[in-house]
Structure 1
Amino acid sequence: MTYTSSLLRLLDERGYIHQLTDAEGLDKLAASQVVPGYIGFDATAPSLHVGSLVQIMLLRRLQQAGHKPVVLMGGGTTRIGDPTGRDESRKMLSDETIDANIASIRTIFERFLSFGDGPTDAIMVNNHDWLGKLGYIELLQEVGTHFTVNRMLTFDSVRLRLDREQPMTFLEFNYMILQGYDFRHLEKSMGVRLQMGGSDQWGNIVNGIELARRMDGVEVFGVTTPLLTTADGGKMGKTAAGAVWLNEDQLPSYDFWQYWRNVDDRDVGKFLRLFTDLPLEEIARLESLGGSEINAAKVVLANEVTALCRGADAAKAAEATASATFAGGGVGQDLPVFTLPAEGIGIIDALVGIGFAASRGEAKRLVAGGGARVDGEQVTDENLVIAGGSEVRISSGKKKHGVLRPA
């Protein structure tokens, strides 16, 4: 359909829309008033990773279109754990750890959203503030009557776990009830009319919409984004080295920049639309580049995303490091560093120490496969000892570089 609201036109043009509960109704609402919309994030770690970035950008687009983003931190639901996409129960975290994680995660959102008291300023709320006060009997009487076990068992988050004969605790089984209650509470307390999320959250979003309708007779809406995978079928934000964290403390800016610089050629246009504010005309020009010129578009992508997430200075430093390392053959300032002992160090220990291999066995396989280099020279002897006393560049393959630096 042709959208009349700037919100849905923006989301459609940029490729965010997968499912809408009522496209016409939401379009009409967004064209006539400021719509508060929310996305929930659990606080299981001090940082979110790249897999959450499309949802963060979705909140950014909501604000850019003149509406109000509500960041819901799951201080309450983190204590339970979302079973969606999981094969095992989540480890329980202490209250202190959850609170510290929320404080750390907030710094990410402050780069993407404008917070304040205005009608379109973002706010962050914590569902522990209301779920923590909800009595069990009250929950059963007020909310439980609107959910049937028959229907809950059909939800993918439950069915897949049961099909795999993986245990699901009663605690986790309640997650979808509490998430539905979140939507109802946010609508009643601050007029939130829209919940957004990934396609795997469709069932949970619909639950909240039905709960608000049954309990309060209120019409609210849902939007989900497509399941985001890379062109080679991989999961967004996952690499062989682990998660691509958004916070600097969990992942250096250079490594973050390199993740975007090294994306598949086929993903450049899609990622520019989803993760940058570049005009669509400029994105069309960049994704049309062929051959080696596409690398220039990847540098633009890396710079734009890193500037948004880490700041312009971090993006400039990362690009300068890449230029010095790859083009100039030098040693950039942002490369990972490992202390080089005065007596020297074996190549295997160096590869493990700097993080290019998770174990000595993996490091040996890297050397045997011709992937290890010292100062640009391929290493063929796993017993090589790198002499101490001077700075040395060490590499794994063509894209991972680091520095061995004397103490």
Structure 2
Amino acid sequence: MNFVEELRWRGMLHDIMPGTEEELNKHMTSGYIGFDPTADSLHVGHLTQIMTLIHFQRAGHKPVALVGGATGMVGDPSGKSAERNLLSEDVLNHNVKCLEDQLKKFLDFNSGPNSAEMVNNYDWFKNFTFLDFIRDVGKHLTVNYMMAKDSVKKRLEGETGMSFTEFSYQLVQGYDFYYLWKEKNCQVQMGGSDQWGNIVTGTELIRRKAAGNAFAITTQLIKKADGTKFGKTESGAVWLDPAKTSPYKFYQFWLNTTDSDAKSWIRIFTLKSQAEIEELEKEHDLAPHLRILQKALAEEITVRTHSFDALQTALKTSDFLFGNGSLEFLNSLSKEDVLEVFEGLPQFTISKDEFSAGINATDLLAEKTTVFPSKGEARKMISGGGVSINKEKIADPALILNTENLINGKFLVAQKGKKNYFLIMAE
């Protein structure tokens, strides 16, 4: 199965320029995708393009990941309703380095002729003067051509309009393609469907400036089945950086997908074969409550993005919070790891001296903390068997808790009902 066929059956292909598939079938071809360093981490919205590069390399082609140190200073108007804030050079350089480190986890940079390559467009723009740019690039494309692009028309029709800075973005990205075509023999540019206008500007520049041929492929923009934006949660974006989104939360994002989304996403975000996926779908349909598709999806993408060990921690965390996991799991973790497990859940701090003196369970849960809004409600819930301390139910509202109850001498885990957890720290 060739690269285009792979994208097609996985439901990833959106647009392809005529002649592209034939070109790819002739020989090993270099192709690139650009990533703008607007933040110091990629997020799950970038994974479609990362997977595209992975499939490109697996099909025997040479993937080039372009990190936009230069284009990040301008701002891509595609899909944007307003101009984004421009970042300082120091922030951009930091972001570029972080993105490069992340991309190296996904692609093979040591596989011979089709080894992946990383480039930064700042390297060829840093000494490119404005006058040279408008003379050598701008003269080849008319304003009429540039204004016909959907990304430009939508902004011009809006209330905020578009600055010359963003209007020029397609020329800058077009020159990227020309430069890589000329210097790296890069024949194909790939990207999301919202990038089609920018990509074909590059193919047009190559044709007009050098009478050359270049090709374009775009992939589907991923949306949830309910129409909401992919990759967004109540707490914000789902990042690939474990310091921004813990491996546990990353795993849970995929595990909590709907059945219809899981059937689409397991094709897009895993490397499982068509036969493997169809078999998983059959198993899933026989017992949807087991979430077989979601688990297979979550496990593979967590390992690829983080590591096998990170997956094991995520699984143990899930088992602890939602299953029958024991306290031994928390005992084996550092303070930082425990805080990560409970990231996003309510946390309280109480002095260790108070624990040394002993604290009444009702006072702890309704006065020292806000696990319950009142002592009366706390007593009622404890007496009814609805409260656990360190995974063990308590029945006595007057129970005294002290330092002996602290996990690793530092933590106490309160649980209200089945799924409401609270971390109480002694310091």
Which band: TM-score by shorter chain? 0.7 to 0.9
8 Å CA contact retained: 2:29, 2:62 = yes
- Paired residue for 1:405? 425
User: Which residue of 141, 152, 155 corresponds with 2:135?
Assistant: 141
How big is each residue's C-alpha offset from its partner over 1:49-90, in whole Å with a ceiling of 9 and x where there is no partner? 101100001000001111111000100010011111222222
- Name the TM-score, length of structure 1 as normaliser: 0.84
- With over 3 angstroms needed to count, the CA separation of the structure-2 counterparts of 1:329 and 1:311, relative to structure 1, is closer
Q: 2:317 aligned with 1:321, yes or no?
A: yes
Q: 2:272 aligned with 1:278, yes or no?
A: yes
- With over 3 angstroms needed to count, the CA separation of the structure-2 counterparts of 1:150 and 1:339, relative to structure 1, is same
Report the Cα distance in structure 2 between the residues aligned to 1:29 and 1:8, rounded to whole angstroms: 11
Report the Cα distance in structure 1 between the residues aligned to 2:191 and 2:266, rounded to whole angstroms: 20
Q: Which amino acid aligns with 2:187?
A: R
- Paired residue for 1:37? 31
8 Å CA contact retained: 2:137, 2:175 = yes
How big is each residue's C-alpha offset from its partner over 1:117-170, in whole Å with a ceiling of 9 and x where there is no partner? 832011110001112221211111121122222232232222222222114221
- Paired residue for 1:7? 3
How big is each residue's C-alpha offset from its partner over 1:302-345, in whole Å with a ceiling of 9 and x where there is no partner? 11110000011111210121122212165665522545223668
Shift of 1:27: 2.0
Report the Cα distance in structure 2 between the residues aligned to 1:396 and 1:293, rounded to whole angstroms: 22
- Paired residue for 2:51? 57
Q: 2:89 aligned with 1:85, yes or no?
A: no
- With over 3 angstroms needed to count, the CA separation of the structure-2 counterparts of 1:38 and 1:267, relative to structure 1, is same
8 Å CA contact retained: 1:265, 1:294 = no
Q: Which amino acid aligns with 1:311?
A: S
8 Å CA contact retained: 1:340, 1:388 = no
Written as runs of structure 1 = structure 2, the 5 A alignment for 1:168-247 is: 168-247=162-241
- Paired residue for 2:303? 307
Report the Cα distance in structure 2 between the residues aligned to 1:205 and 1:112, rounded to whole angstroms: 23
> Secondary structure, in 3 states, of the residue corresponding to 1:222?
strand
Report the Cα distance in structure 2 between the residues aligned to 1:140 and 1:223, rounded to whole angstroms: 27
- Paired residue for 2:117? 123
- With over 3 angstroms needed to count, the CA separation of the structure-2 counterparts of 1:402 and 1:20, relative to structure 1, is farther
Q: Which amino acid aligns with 2:262?
A: V
- RMSD (Å), alpha carbons: 2.6
8 Å CA contact retained: 1:269, 1:286 = no
- With over 3 angstroms needed to count, the CA separation of the structure-2 counterparts of 1:349 and 1:51, relative to structure 1, is farther
> Secondary structure, in 3 states, of the residue corresponding to 1:328?
coil
> Secondary structure, in 3 states, of the residue corresponding to 2:25?
helix
Shift of 1:107: 2.2
Q: Which amino acid aligns with 2:306?
A: R
Larger radius of gyration: 2
Q: 2:259 aligned with 1:262, yes or no?
A: no
- Name the TM-score, length of structure 2 as normaliser: 0.80
Report the Cα distance in structure 2 between the residues aligned to 1:302 and 1:29, rounded to whole angstroms: 35
Report the Cα distance in structure 2 between the residues aligned to 1:240 and 1:347, rounded to whole angstroms: 29
How big is each residue's C-alpha offset from its partner over 1:364-388, in whole Å with a ceiling of 9 and x where there is no partner? xxxxxxxxx97599xxxxxxxxx99
- Paired residue for 1:381? none
Unaligned regions of 5+ residues in structure 1, if any?
A: 352-372, 378-386
Alignment identity in percent?
Answer: 38
User: Which residue of 334, 337, 342 corresponds with 1:336?
Assistant: 342
- With over 3 angstroms needed to count, the CA separation of the structure-2 counterparts of 1:300 and 1:174, relative to structure 1, is same
8 Å CA contact retained: 1:209, 1:219 = yes
Which stretch of the first structure deviates more once superposed, 322-331 or 81-90? 322-331
Report the Cα distance in structure 2 between the residues aligned to 1:162 and 1:9, rounded to whole angstroms: 37
> Secondary structure, in 3 states, of the residue corresponding to 1:112?
coil
Q: Which amino acid aligns with 2:153?
A: R
User: Which residue of 372, 392, 396 corresponds with 2:413?
Assistant: 392
Unaligned regions of 5+ residues in structure 2, if any?
A: 331-339, 355-363, 372-385, 392-400, 407-411
Shift of 1:13: 2.1
Shift of 1:238: 0.8
> Secondary structure, in 3 states, of the residue corresponding to 1:392?
strand
Shift of 1:208: 0.5
> Secondary structure, in 3 states, of the residue corresponding to 1:34?
coil
Shift of 1:104: 1.2
- Paired residue for 2:383? none
Which stretch of the first structure deviates more once superposed, 114-123 or 79-88? 114-123
How big is each residue's C-alpha offset from its partner over 1:25-47, in whole Å with a ceiling of 9 and x where there is no partner? 22222222111100000111110
Report the Cα distance in structure 2 between the residues aligned to 1:326 and 1:349, rounded to whole angstroms: 23
- Paired residue for 2:151? 157
Report the Cα distance in structure 2 between the residues aligned to 1:138 and 1:284, rounded to whole angstroms: 55
Runs of 4+ deviating beyond 6 Å: 345-351
Shift of 1:232: 1.2
> Secondary structure, in 3 states, of the residue corresponding to 1:111?
coil
> Secondary structure, in 3 states, of the residue corresponding to 2:225?
coil
8 Å CA contact retained: 2:242, 2:306 = yes
